[in-house]
Structure 1
Amino acid sequence: MSAEVVQAVAVTPDGRPGVRPPRLVAHRGAPRVRRENTLPAVAVAEALGADAIEVDVRRTADGVAVLLHDETLGRMWGDARRIADVSWCDVARLGNGLDRIPRLDAVLERLDGCRSTLLVDLTSAADALVAANAVAAFAGAVSVAWCGAPEAMVAVRSVLPEADVWLAWESLEPPTPADLDELAPATLNLDVAFLTPATVRAAHDLGLQVSVWTVDDVEPAIWAARLGVDSITTNDVGPVRAALEAAERDGWPDAVREPTEAEVASRARALAHRIAHEVIAFTREHPVGSVTTKAHVADLVTDVDRLVEQHVRGRVRAVFPTHGFTGEEYGAAPGDKHRWYLDPVDGTTNLANGIPWTSMSLCLTRSGHPVVGVVADPWRGEVLEARRGRGATIRDRQLRLDDTPRPLAGAVVGTELDGHLPWPGFGTFLDALAARSCTLRVLGSGTLTIAQVAAGRGIGGCVSAFDPVDHGAAVLLVHEAGGVVMTADGPVDGFPPVGVPFLVAHPGAADELHAVWVDALRG
């Protein structure tokens, strides 16, 4: 059992972990059995014994609270209109039989007298007011709880002052008493991507229950239970319940055996490959909404950065729940000897300004050594991937740089600014390359600058400071493609030291390019 789990669970008198199985929340009813957010889906979830049934509620044009997750009717009902622009009479005609969009009051009537709590998920204050008024007008006996956007929860409280609120939590930092002041929640509701032992302990110390979503696989469900969560939201109530009951019956045993490092690497590469293609599709299709700043006005972050990171964290957690994770936007989560590093959008300034030259970098390490890395280029639709000792590929083509001497004349070298500023020696480096008829390019994504060298595009690339979040995957790609990775002191195997300038190069040009670069650094 890992140290993070030992700290989070009690121990029974006979020395076994004392874990209380968490309650199960049926996500949108039973979407693997019946269409999500419909009366049949709610009925199946109740029949499966779900402790709570989560549904999404929006309002129609004439102010009727109905069950629907999306802003539009397109994905589920084949109608491109926004639900808020369609009257209830028109909404009621969609679908067939019982597979229709139900009113919230119809769901309340269906659950009247049942043991399952109805958990209403809301995204806007306007929807929340309509939903809260529908619940307030219902005279039956249904336990109702509320989750969703903070402004929606404030609106619910304005109608139902004693409402059972589940506070959405999108941070690796544990909650503090100040975080609870406005809504006085009973439950902390967090994406599995943000689940940590520290957050569970802090929430319990504050008198909060902890709920985690959305967990459909056995391994992360058992891991979450052993951390002490109080409820798990899932699309698969039956299998998850069976797995938890079996774990309880067997005394919450450790895994039958630890996977070998080869097994971890193989699973990690397959997962990283799938994630890369998911991120390519999302980044291309999701328009940039909000753009804010971090350290200074030139240090940008968009909603795409945050959404991609949250998605990737959740995907990794579902397969490797005990691994550590460090991301550009949400920071570091604890874990075992394995750690993932993610930059969801390397080149955010390009993205925010509509320039199609960005990338995602995802790298798995074991005890600080790179194991698997992928670089996803959304705009070229390319995934460059590498596994330690197994080479690097792009579009299933093996990448291999030979050691044939390569002149700098007529070649291209890539670099990046230090933030928005030139790094010390930048001008000298530019002049020295120009004197050799070699062109220097600054394109705006350090990950792609380094990864392109592995793909044979350009003779070399340099960055002012190594960070595994930004450059881990690309450095592994260069190593596995047969390129050379160097600091000022010479070649390195594995990662350069964090914060140190580094250079990657085609092996046939490495010595000359390194000498030019070091001279520039040393002024």
Structure 2
Amino acid sequence: MTSTAQAPTGRMVATDAAPDARRTVRVPRLVAHRGAPRVRRENTLPAIAVAEALGADTIEVDVRRTADGVAVLLHDETLGRMWGDARRVRDVDWCDVARLGNGLDRIPRLDAALERLDGCRTSLLVDLTDPEDALVAARTVAAHRGSTGVAWCGAPEAMAAVREVIPDADVWLAWESLEAPTAEDLAPLAPSTLNLDVAFLTPRTVRAAHDLGLVVSVWTVDDPEPAVWAAMSGVDSITTNDVAAVRAALAAAERDGWPGRDREPTETEVASRAEALAHRIAHEVIAFTREHPVGEVTTKAHPADLVTDVDRLVEQHVRSRVRTVFPTHGFTGEEYGDAPGDRHRWYLDPVDGTTNLANGVPWTSMSLCLTRGGRPLVGVVADPWRGEVLEARSGRGATLRDRTLRLDDAPRALAGAVVGTELDGHRPWPGFGAFLDALAARSCTLRIQGSGTLTIAQVAAGRGIGGCVSAFDPIDHGAAVLLVHEAGGVVLTREGPVDGFPPAGEPFLVAHPGAADELHAVWTAALAAV
């Protein structure tokens, strides 16, 4: 019988890779992301208490500073998403921040979180993006006289600021590359841990990090199958929003046996990594589109069919990012066409609304969607001008800035509502005039804004009662259609509701559930009138 030594980062478990072979899998420690955000409000003392009760080894929290220099637990720069106040927390004094929320669901000070964990085996991981916030947080920790263990992660500049206050601070180095780190990469911060985005997790990177003496942590993993895969890849800890589910999955694998290493990744594993990658890409594209000059503008099929340097450069970047992480996947892009692959295929429109972009109109988007066997798995729509990323994953819902998008099914009248549409190229689509007249007769307004992706995606966010486009194309509309489905909206063709994508090239309509029947009747009548 094989025996293994206890490792400081988890248990070593012998498992069978084949009837005549033995291998070991280290059961990772668990890091609770922002406490227990699926049970209590993130970054609050109740969320920390739940995470500690669930057995998290470490609890990750985000820290910002108030106007009067108090370190508080908050992820966003502003108070809007979680606390309904649009101000930046750095512009608000602690006494006013403390009044937000109710009962125990309030923004806590960092020192209160440290005190809460005094005497517990659970440690704290402080995540920082701003160097000034980092200085305040580090001084708070340095002044604390309790026993709570603290590690640090986040932007390199913030980590350097922490080291100014606490020279021997335990730093986790953020890593977003498939290339393994080198000794030169580690030299500036001398981290103890490589904090690896799950999109870039490979066994090779883990082995290389271990060879450099690093502990490896991966974030953010919420599904059982990717958690088991991460453990089999050799990571030492997993950051998760769902400690209970991940712990149960690891315990089941330990009890029942770990899957074979040579098996094909499950749909859940692929979707989890793709979701993390698409999220990263969306934010990269937002920054690039806002900052990069439009450059040369040329035409394609006709004088109104424009393409810019931004279109080309964004597509090149996204193709490279996807190919690096998923080398066997197919890819279809607006500017460079099809690349062959397996049954997974990505669809990209780097700039939907190029005519707007070329003319200085801030209403464009990027659409990126992953399909498997023709069915959508993951989709993101990035709006550079609002700084918004709308995200969806099949069967897991849709979100905007960490807020779940869910349309109710209450009846909605067309009167006073807004419906979006787009031109067919640069011309009205067949039936457009009849549709406009029919909506006007019902006191409903039709809008054309120049991005079919956003026209459809906005319905998922509750902005407008419906939207229609003259021809479905997964490049332009795949991500937005998935968003509508996952938000509880209705996707329809002439014949009625569809599950998944509409047929390519066919007109389609999306609608709020409470208005779908009436809007569909008006739309189909307009199409039939041609």
Give the TM bin, normalised by the shorter chain: 0.5 to 0.7
- What CA distance in whole angstroms lies between the structure 1 residues aligned with 2:55 and 2:134? 27
Q: In 2 relative to 1, CA 104–413 (structure 1 residues): closer, same or farther, beyond 3 Å?
A: closer
Q: In 2 relative to 1, CA 351–223 (structure 1 residues): closer, same or farther, beyond 3 Å?
A: farther
- What CA distance in whole angstroms lies between the structure 2 residues aligned with 1:371 and 1:189? 32
Q: Does the 8 Å CA contact 1:25/1:232 hold for their aligned counterparts?
A: yes
- What CA distance in whole angstroms lies between the structure 1 residues aligned with 2:125 and 2:352? 39
- What CA distance in whole angstroms lies between the structure 1 residues aligned with 2:64 and 2:256? 43
- What CA distance in whole angstroms lies between the structure 2 residues aligned with 1:76 and 1:94? 10
- What CA distance in whole angstroms lies between the structure 2 residues aligned with 1:306 and 1:138? 49
The match for 1:169 among 157, 171, 175 is 175
Q: Does the 8 Å CA contact 2:331/2:346 hold for their aligned counterparts?
A: yes
Query: How many pairs align?
Result: 370
Displacement, 1:182? 1.0
Moved more, 119-128 or 179-188: 179-188
The match for 1:111 among 114, 117, 120 is 117
Greater C-alpha radius of gyration: 1
Matched with 1:240 is: 246
Q: In 2 relative to 1, CA 202–292 (structure 1 residues): closer, same or farther, beyond 3 Å?
A: farther
Instruction: Encode CA deviations 1:297-352: one digit per residue, 9 max, x unaligned.
Output: 97448999999999x98xxx9xxx99858799xxxxxxx95544353624697658
**TM-score using structure 1 length:** 0.57
User: Are 1:79 and 2:85 counterparts?
Assistant: yes
Q: Does the 8 Å CA contact 1:288/1:303 hold for their aligned counterparts?
A: no
Instruction: Encode CA deviations 1:172-195: one digit per residue, 9 max, x unaligned.
Output: 332222221211111111222222
Matched with 2:28 is: 22
User: Are 1:360 and 2:367 counterparts?
Assistant: yes
Matched with 1:154 is: 160
Secondary structure of 1:207's partner? coil
Matched with 2:429 is: none
Secondary structure of 1:232's partner? strand
Q: What are structure 2's unaligned runs of at least 5 residues? A: 1-12, 298-307, 334-340, 384-389, 391-423, 427-449, 455-468, 480-500, 507-530
Alignment of 1:468-487 (within 5 A): 481=505
Alignment of 1:220-231 (within 5 A): 220-231=226-237
Matched with 1:486 is: none
Displacement, 1:206? 1.9
Displacement, 1:166? 0.9
Alignment of 1:329-368 (within 5 A): 338-341=343-346, 343=348, 345-346=350-351, 351=357, 353-354=360-361, 356=363, 359-364=366-371
Matched with 2:221 is: 215
Displacement, 1:356? 4.1
- What CA distance in whole angstroms lies between the structure 1 residues aligned with 2:168 and 2:157? 16
Matched with 2:192 is: 186
Matched with 1:291 is: 291
Instruction: Encode CA deviations 1:74-108: one digit per residue, 9 max, x unaligned.
Output: 12112221110111111112222222111111111
Q: Does the 8 Å CA contact 1:363/1:373 hold for their aligned counterparts?
A: yes
- What CA distance in whole angstroms lies between the structure 1 residues aligned with 2:84 and 2:192? 38
Secondary structure of 1:19's partner? strand
Instruction: Encode CA deviations 1:418-463: one digit per residue, 9 max, x unaligned.
Output: xxxxxxxxxxxxxxxxxxxxxxxxxx99x99xxxxxx8769xx9xx
Q: Does the 8 Å CA contact 1:17/1:251 hold for their aligned counterparts?
A: no
User: Are 1:66 and 2:72 counterparts?
Assistant: yes
Moved more, 167-176 or 350-359: 350-359
Alignment of 1:30-429 (within 5 A): 30-254=36-260, 291-292=291-292, 299-300=309-310, 338-341=343-346, 343=348, 345-346=350-351, 351=357, 353-354=360-361, 356=363, 359-364=366-371
- What CA distance in whole angstroms lies between the structure 2 residues aligned with 1:35 and 1:307? 36
Q: In 2 relative to 1, CA 38–19 (structure 1 residues): closer, same or farther, beyond 3 Å?
A: same
Q: Residue 196 of structure 2 aligns to which amino acid in structure 1? A: L
Instruction: Encode CA deviations 1:24-57: one digit per residue, 9 max, x unaligned.
Output: 0001111112211111111111111111000000
- What CA distance in whole angstroms lies between the structure 2 residues aligned with 1:66 and 1:375? 33
Matched with 1:388 is: none
Q: Does the 8 Å CA contact 1:29/1:44 hold for their aligned counterparts?
A: yes
Q: In 2 relative to 1, CA 109–305 (structure 1 residues): closer, same or farther, beyond 3 Å?
A: farther
Displacement, 1:292? 4.6
Q: Does the 8 Å CA contact 1:288/1:302 hold for their aligned counterparts?
A: no
Q: In 2 relative to 1, CA 346–478 (structure 1 residues): closer, same or farther, beyond 3 Å?
A: farther
Q: Does the 8 Å CA contact 1:351/1:358 hold for their aligned counterparts?
A: no
Q: In 2 relative to 1, CA 142–294 (structure 1 residues): closer, same or farther, beyond 3 Å?
A: farther
Q: Does the 8 Å CA contact 1:373/1:472 hold for their aligned counterparts?
A: no
Secondary structure of 2:21's partner? coil
- What CA distance in whole angstroms lies between the structure 2 residues aligned with 1:292 and 1:118? 39
Pairwise CA RMSD: 5.3
Instruction: Encode CA deviations 1:346-389: one digit per residue, 9 max, x unaligned.
Output: 469765854645552435477xxx7769998889xxx9xxxxxx
- What CA distance in whole angstroms lies between the structure 1 residues aligned with 2:313 and 2:123? 32
Q: In 2 relative to 1, CA 209–469 (structure 1 residues): closer, same or farther, beyond 3 Å?
A: farther
Instruction: Encode CA deviations 1:258-305: one digit per residue, 9 max, x unaligned.
Output: 899xxx6xx999x89x98xx99xx89x978775258999974489999
Q: What are structure 1's unaligned runs of at least 5 residues? A: 1-8, 329-335, 384-411, 415-443, 449-454, 462-467, 483-523
**TM-score using structure 2 length:** 0.57
Instruction: Encode CA deviations 1:226-248: one digit per residue, 9 max, x unaligned.
Output: 11111111111111101101101
Q: In 2 relative to 1, CA 337–413 (structure 1 residues): closer, same or farther, beyond 3 Å?
A: closer
Q: Does the 8 Å CA contact 2:286/2:382 hold for their aligned counterparts?
A: no
- What CA distance in whole angstroms lies between the structure 2 residues aligned with 1:373 and 1:12? 32
Q: In 2 relative to 1, CA 17–348 (structure 1 residues): closer, same or farther, beyond 3 Å?
A: farther
- What CA distance in whole angstroms lies between the structure 2 residues aligned with 1:195 and 1:357? 32
- What CA distance in whole angstroms lies between the structure 1 residues aligned with 2:286 and 2:265? 37
Secondary structure of 2:157's partner? helix
Instruction: Encode CA deviations 1:478-499: one digit per residue, 9 max, x unaligned.
Output: 99559xxxxxxxxxxxxxxxxx
Q: Does the 8 Å CA contact 2:31/2:238 hold for their aligned counterparts?
A: yes
Q: In 2 relative to 1, CA 71–259 (structure 1 residues): closer, same or farther, beyond 3 Å?
A: closer
Matched with 1:429 is: none
Q: In 2 relative to 1, CA 217–307 (structure 1 residues): closer, same or farther, beyond 3 Å?
A: farther
Q: Does the 8 Å CA contact 1:290/1:302 hold for their aligned counterparts?
A: no
- What CA distance in whole angstroms lies between the structure 1 residues aligned with 2:44 and 2:118? 16
Q: Residue 42 of structure 1 aligns to which amino acid in structure 2? A: I
- What CA distance in whole angstroms lies between the structure 2 residues aligned with 1:307 and 1:141? 46
Q: Residue 114 of structure 1 aligns to which amino acid in structure 2? A: C
- What CA distance in whole angstroms lies between the structure 1 residues aligned with 2:74 and 2:328? 35
Displacement, 1:112? 1.3
